[in-house]
Amino acid sequence: MNFASDNWAGAHPAISQSLLTASAGFSEPYGASALDRKIERQFNELFEREVAVFFVSTGTAANSLALAAVNRPGGVSFCHREAHMLEDECGAPEFFTHGARLAPVDGYNGKIDPDNLKAEIERFPPNFVHAGQPMAISITQATEIGTLYQPEEIAAIADIAQRYQLPLHMDGARFANALTALQLTPAEMSWKLGVDIVSFGATKNGCWCAEALVFMNPAQAKDLPFIRKRAAQLMSKSRFIACQFEAYLDDGLWLELARHANAMAARLQNGIANSKHTRLAWHAEANEVFAVLDQAHADRLQQQGAVFYPWNPPRANPDLVADREVLVRLVTSFATQAEQVDAFTELLG
């Protein structure tokens, strides 16, 4: 009954097999191999336009390089107050951008509130050197707390981005989970709504190490080859990331894995909704379920073999968790089995 995180799962057999197949022979290192090139072209098809794509080793690297690509002196990027890049990357975005700031924007359900966003951006008048300069907006899809930006919500933020001429980045560590939940295509969930840069994560969804940073406008990435190398993110045997994507994207495997994870989350959510001793913190829309229960109950569950983590209650919702209660996060993945879910909900009581 492991719901700790989707990165506790291993790799899908098809991914592992692809790594085995790619092992033989000589090929150009540093992203120049035929396989690298082939997968790059496949990303063009996936996004229905010519994109610039960069393979990197972690989601943190993808997010941080996205901001580094659009960096400017005194730059400030706007993200949700509890965004992963703000709360869980140990300051990597600031490191990669030499200290450009992440400005927190409040909003319910893990999503940036457009009015708050506008108000925060307005604090940076053009050419006013004291405040700094707006530089980017970043949203997370699915969000850090398992909710989803609806297409019109993305469009509303993209509208603001466009008004202030700011690039819009999407942290897609769980891109596939969001995509399948919303039944959109990659193009529909990104540039057709105004998203400029996507951190296209595959590690959490069945790869062992495969993250792609995708620029809808390749010109925006013109310095990135140097920035990436300098950040130690240019893998010498990069074909081994390419081959993971090859299997991942083949015949819709990635969508199938995400659908499975989402279905397991829905099953889990259903179980919790029917539980007497646990309540849902909010409606889960992808592969993460958040629940509130007594700390003692949570402890018992863990003693009985359930694996999950407590979670900081959102600042926007300070009354969510009563004394003696705890907010917990339950994550499903391609590797979650229905039996595990059912066993867990049975334990919940």
Closest approach of its own copies to the CB of residue 129, in Å? 4
Residue 67 vs 258, nearer CB to its own copies: 67
231 Cα distance to chain centroid: 20
Closest approach of its own copies to the CB of residue 16, in Å? 4
Residue 16 vs 280, nearer CB to its own copies: 16
The whole-angstrom separation of Cα 131 and Cα 71 is 16
What type of residue sits at position 143? Answer: T
Residue 279 vs 315, nearer CB to its own copies: 315
Residue 184 vs 209, nearer CB to its own copies: 209
Q: How is residue 132 written in tokens?
A: 């700094």
Residue 32 vs 273, nearer CB to its own copies: 32
Closest approach of its own copies to the CB of residue 259, in Å? 20
Closest approach of its own copies to the CB of residue 308, in Å? 12
Closest approach of its own copies to the CB of residue 298, in Å? 17
Residue 9 vs 158, nearer CB to its own copies: 9
The whole-angstrom separation of Cα 117 and Cα 279 is 31
Laid out side by side, the sheet with 325-331 consists of: 278-280, 288-294, 325-331, 309-310
Give the long-range contacts of residues 114-123, CB within 8 A, separation 24 or more.
114/156, 114/157, 114/160, 117/78, 117/157, 117/160, 118/160, 120/78, 121/78, 121/160, 121/164, 121/166
CB count, 10 Å around CB of 227? Answer: 19
Closest approach of its own copies to the CB of residue 269, in Å? 20
Burial group, residue 21, by CB count within 10 angstroms (0-12, 13-18, 19+) = exposed
The whole-angstrom separation of Cα 131 and Cα 221 is 26
